[in-house]
């Protein structure tokens, strides 16, 4: 069976800080790394873009934080500690009141074989393929993973909160399409 080489592309995580945040102070302290828009979604929010590890934080005045763009589950999992440490450096003493929770993992894989998308969508009712609307077949799996399958055999997986479900989804897809 060909090796798929599953590669994480993006991880989204959320967490909550134990107090409200002055987004203006955060923006001023991290001027080169942040943008501040007090009208985004009618809430006060600052966006902090970090180069190492590469990720972005949406920091709301309420203390809620969304971390996106993390390249690994480990980086996303450590994002709360990273941010609270950066905040302490500028005199904002906060702790996590709600732990970091992974919300979504996007990963890619390669089945290393061309796939006849029309044929597989006809043979499998759970696989949708509308080439006039989108060039990939879409398979929404029971474990909440959505797979985009391209004719080249390349695959994008999204919707999982853990890598185990992504690995399982890719293995199930491989077995279904090219045999195990």
Total domain count, the chain: 2
User: Does 147 reside within a domain?
Assistant: yes
Domain containing 148 equals: 111-178
Asked if residue 118 and residue 72 are part of one domain, the reply reads no
pLDDT of res. 140: 92
Of the chain, the percentage scoring pLDDT greater than 70 comes to: 92
User: Does 1 reside within a domain?
Assistant: no
| Both tokens assigned to 174 | 């491989």
What strands, in cross-sheet order, belong to the sheet with 146-149? 34-37, 45-50, 55-60, 64-70, 7-17, 96-110, 154-160, 146-149, 137-140, 127-128
The residue out of 68, 85, 102 marking a domain boundary is 102
| Both tokens assigned to 163 | 């890598």
User: Does 2 reside within a domain?
Assistant: no
Q: Which of 28-37, 81-90, 167-176 shows the lowest mean pLDDT across its residues?
A: 28-37
The residue out of 84, 102, 120 marking a domain boundary is 102
Asked if residue 124 and residue 67 are part of one domain, the reply reads no
pTM tops 0.75: yes
In angstroms, the Cα distances linking 2 to 109, 117, 175 are 11, 19, 11
Place of tokens 């709301």: 60
User: Does 20 reside within a domain?
Assistant: yes
**Does residue 14 surpass a pLDDT of 70?**
yes
| Both tokens assigned to 121 | 């969508």
């Amino acid at each position: 069976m060909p090796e798929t080489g599953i590669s994480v592309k993006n991880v989204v995580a959320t967490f909550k800080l134990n107090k409200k945040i002055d987004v203006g102070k955060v923006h001023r302290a991290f001027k080169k790394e942040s943008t501040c828009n007090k009208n985004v979604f009618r809430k006060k929010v600052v966006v902090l873009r970090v180069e190492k590890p590469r990720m972005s934080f949406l920091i709301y005045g309420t203390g809620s934080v969304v971390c996106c763009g993390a390249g690994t589950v480990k980086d996303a999992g450590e994002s709360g500690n990273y941010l609270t440490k950066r905040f302490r450096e500028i005199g904002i003493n906060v702790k996590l009141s709600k732990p970091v929770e992974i919300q979504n993992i996007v990963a890619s894989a390669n089945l290393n074989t061309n796939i006849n998308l029309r044929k597989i969508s006809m043979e499998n009712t759970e696989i949708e393929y509308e080439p006039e609307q989108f060039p990939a077949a879409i398979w929404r799996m029971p474990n909440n993973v959505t797979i985009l399958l391209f004719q080249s055999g390349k695959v994008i997986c999204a919707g999982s909160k853990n890598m185990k479900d992504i690995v399982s989804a890719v293995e199930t897809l491989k077995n279904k399409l090219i045999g195990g």
